[in-house]
Amino acid sequence: MSARVPLSFRIFLLATALLASPAAAQEDIVVAGTPLQEAAGADAYATVLVPRAALTASPSGQLENALEQVPGFQLFRRADSRSSNATSQGATLRGIGGNATGRTLVLLDGVPIADPFAGYIPWAGIPPESLALARVTTGGGAGPFGAGALSGTIELISAGPGARSSALRARYGSRDSIDLGAALVERVGNGFVALDASHAEGDGYFTTAPEDRGAVDTRAPYEQQNISARAVFPVGNVSELQVRGAWFRDDRQNGQALVTSGMEGADSSVRLLSRGALPFEVLAYVQARDYRATFARTEADRSAEQPALQQAVPATGIGAKAELRPTFGAHELRLGTDWRHTAGETKERFNFDGTRLASGRTAGGRSNTVGLFVEDSWQTTEDLTLTAGARVDRWWLDDGRLVEEGAVTSFGDRSGWEPTGRLAAAYDATPALKLRAAGYVGWRLPTLNELYRPFRVGPDATAANAALRPEESRGVEAGFDYQPLSTARLSVTGFVVRAKDMISNITLGEGPGVFPGSGFVFGSYRQRLNLDAVDSRGIEASAQAEIGRLTLTASYAFTDAEQKGSGPTAAQDGFRPPQIPEHSAFAGARVGLGESGSVGASLRYVGPQFEDDLEQRPLDDFVQLDASAVLPVARGVALTLAGENLTDSRIEDGIDARGALSLAQPRTLWVGIRWQR
């Protein structure tokens, strides 16, 4: 195990010590651990709420799969975190394209949780059972930490004693899969403590399609663990302290004996909230992460493999935020500042000489972003709400370097300013119908991964680019929310987005041959470059209805996206961004049984898309049927049944330069038991 692991445990133990520390409390104050109330102007943006019941009902037990009901939400690839490389687990919205880095800001109790070096989301480290709600705003720009909200914001909100209780669960599934979980939720004085732990593992499936398999292809076993602790205590009469610590680990073999990936991390955060006459929030956090991977050179007929590359990527993230929420008559203001620091490096061994990886390379750097933001929600009349926000960010990239075989290349330090903002209006045309419109400007700084770390997928190689420019999105949207009953809601939004300087993996040549920044390449050679832009327009729709104990959910996204390129990216001009489908849809139904039981099913459709930037590698569409049931058998005890991809649809996840297809999750059946207090 890496020498950096003790640092992770020290951070986790520090958070645990903070959890155990006493806090001043008034006897008549009982806290819930929730964030500050949303401003009135939040209703003017396209927002989808995913409640706790929907987050925990996904048959896979994976948070990223539960979010697939949000229109336009997608990971970079179709496979989830049980089989895909961690660097494929970024999230994006509105079809502006993706790569290893997510283009959506993901917050857990106000803390940005993206990996400090690469920008992917550690989905395996966030058990859905620990959450009360996911709030997804499908449009760029944001107040706090808005430097990452290029295509939207996903806010994950932890659950307190009012939404959850202590529980145990155990499941056994296809391919010797095991899924275990435990939660302890206890009131402590006028506050509470919530502890969560889980372990999942399985033999995995063959990720290479049957017709393309060779002697080197294996199943893709995985193993995931996480432990988290959260405590919330009152401080005085109107304030509360929220402290969280977490440790997680996620490892897998990626379909070949010599191809593996994994990550380990420890996060800690402290948040002080006040709900008094002048509401405020102060937040600080630290993240320690360690990504690791091995890659192989595979013969064209997949008969043999040999080591090609070994990587270890330690990284650290530190950040803080302070925000005030004053109210002046009909105006609700948000005033604040935030700071985020990241540092990391990739340590690599490559150039297999028959006995060992003989060559070494180290690359990395640091980044800092400091932002100031202000937003005003103005209730102009009883029916009309206006909101306007502005941010200005100062960013720095420094200590960028590449050390290879004793040769040192230093990349010049860079810095800049990024002004962004958003403007919106919401009008209650009738008691049941709300009309809304918004415009926004968002931005994202290239990650250290994009700037400095090369990578490989099969025979294909992609070089880094230390000269990448920040990305910027400009968009407008208009839509409506129709709620004829308290139990029924329909939301429809049309949008147009232009994302400038989008970072994409651009094909520049074909192997076999030696290419700069990657060495010998058998398949396609790519480099991360800035496209001129990605233009995306479309429609998002979501609907929910409750009829007695029956809950119905549906969503649909139409996305017409096109790359704009010139110069070195001219060949990409007019093509769709990789991995972006034109159509996607979701429909689900769930009916309650007794006090805590339920039975439900969902159907998801994803249209055809392309693996590559030149539309040479098409991936077929698919329909996926899932189902799950919680059947009470005794007080607090229930039998759980679940099925993923019940019809065993072929879900094509990727295709390499030689035409070998990789697949996402096949049919998987689960049976288990759950106890809940």
pLDDT of amino acid 29: 66
**pLDDT tens for residues 535-545?**
999 999 999 99
| pLDDT bucket at 614, cuts 50 / 70 / 90 | confident
The verdict on whether omega for the bond into residue 512 sits within 30 degrees of 0, i.e. cis, is yes
pLDDT of amino acid 24: 39
| pLDDT bucket at 507, cuts 50 / 70 / 90 | confident
pLDDT of amino acid 508: 82
pLDDT of amino acid 33: 86
Task: Look at residue 574 and tell me whether its pLDDT is greater than 90.
Answer: yes
pLDDT of amino acid 511: 77
Least reliable range by pLDDT among 134-138, 219-223, 395-399, 462-466: 462-466
What mean pLDDT comes out for the span 57-72?
A: 94
Instruction: Identify the residue with better confidence: 453 or 172.
Output: 172
Least reliable range by pLDDT among 8-17, 121-130, 247-256, 365-374: 8-17
**pLDDT tens for residues 301-334?**
999 999 988 999 999 999 999 999 999 999 999 9
C-beta contacts of 426-430 below 8 A and 24+ residues apart: 426/41, 426/43, 426/44, 426/384, 426/385, 426/387, 427/383, 427/384, 427/385, 428/382, 428/383, 428/384, 429/383
Among 310, 312, 304, which residue's Cα sits nearest to residue 256?
Answer: 304
What mean pLDDT comes out for the span 428-447?
A: 95
Task: Look at residue 52 and tell me whether its pLDDT is greater than 80.
Answer: yes
Half-sphere exposure of 43 (CA within 13 A, CB side): 19
Name the average pLDDT for the chain.
90
Spatial separation of the C-alpha atoms in residues 285 and 110, rounded to whole Å: 10
Least reliable range by pLDDT among 130-144, 304-318, 597-611: 130-144
**pLDDT tens for residues 552-571?**
999 999 999 999 999 989 99
Ranges of H-type helices in 85-127: none
Please check whether residue 579 is in contact with residue 613, taking contact to mean a CB–CB distance below 8 angstroms: no
Task: Look at residue 2 and tell me whether its pLDDT is greater than 80.
Answer: no
Please check whether residue 221 is in contact with residue 247, taking contact to mean a CB–CB distance below 8 angstroms: no
Spatial separation of the C-alpha atoms in residues 254 and 261, rounded to whole Å: 7
Among 392, 557, 577, 455, which residue's Cα sits nearest to residue 120?
Answer: 455
Q: Tokens representing 253? A: 């073999």
The DSSP letter of residue 166 is -
CB-based contacts of 645, cutoff 8 Å, min separation 6? 624, 625, 626, 651, 665, 666, 667, 668
Q: Tokens representing 647? A: 């019809």
Topology of the domain covering 5-676? Maltoporin; Chain A (2.40.170)
Share of the chain above pLDDT 70, in %: 94
Task: Look at residue 272 and tell me whether its pLDDT is greater than 60.
Answer: yes
The DSSP letter of residue 40 is G
Residue 489 class from Cβ within 10 Å (0-12 exposed, 13-18 middle, 19+ buried)? middle
Instruction: Identify the residue with better confidence: 236 or 271.
Output: 271
pLDDT of amino acid 144: 85
Spatial separation of the C-alpha atoms in residues 135 and 586, rounded to whole Å: 18
What mean pLDDT comes out for the span 93-111?
A: 86
CB-based contacts of 352, cutoff 8 Å, min separation 6? 297, 306, 307, 308, 358
Spatial separation of the C-alpha atoms in residues 555 and 70, rounded to whole Å: 7
**pLDDT tens for residues 174-201?**
999 999 999 999 999 899 999 999 999 9
Q: Give the amino acid at 383.
A: D
Which residues of 380-444 form beta strands (DSSP E)?
384-404, 407-410, 414-428, 433-444
Spatial separation of the C-alpha atoms in residues 657 and 526, rounded to whole Å: 12
| pLDDT bucket at 32, cuts 50 / 70 / 90 | confident
| pLDDT bucket at 17, cuts 50 / 70 / 90 | very low
Q: Give the amino acid at 272.
A: L
Query: Cβ atoms within 10 A of the Cβ of 431, count?
Result: 9
Least reliable range by pLDDT among 9-13, 95-99, 349-353: 9-13
Rounded to two decimals, the pTM is 0.92
pLDDT of amino acid 140: 81
| pLDDT bucket at 364, cuts 50 / 70 / 90 | very high
Whole-angstrom Cα Rg for the chain: 24
Strands 357-379 and 384-404: antiparallel
Beta bridge partners of 591: 550, 599
pLDDT of amino acid 100: 63
Please check whether residue 438 is in contact with residue 423, taking contact to mean a CB–CB distance below 8 angstroms: yes
pLDDT of amino acid 529: 92
What mean pLDDT comes out for the span 291-303?
A: 90
**pLDDT tens for residues 656-675?**
878 889 999 999 999 999 99
Task: Look at residue 486 and tell me whether its pLDDT is greater than 80.
Answer: yes
pLDDT of amino acid 26: 42
Read out DSSP for 353-365? -SSSEEEEEEEEE
pLDDT of amino acid 590: 97
Spatial separation of the C-alpha atoms in residues 171 and 225, rounded to whole Å: 15
pLDDT of amino acid 458: 63
pLDDT of amino acid 304: 94
| pLDDT bucket at 519, cuts 50 / 70 / 90 | low
**pLDDT tens for residues 459-480?**
777 888 999 999 999 999 999 9
Task: Look at residue 485 and tell me whether its pLDDT is greater than 50.
Answer: yes
The DSSP letter of residue 270 is E
pLDDT of amino acid 28: 57
pLDDT of amino acid 504: 85
| pLDDT bucket at 13, cuts 50 / 70 / 90 | very low
pLDDT of amino acid 86: 81
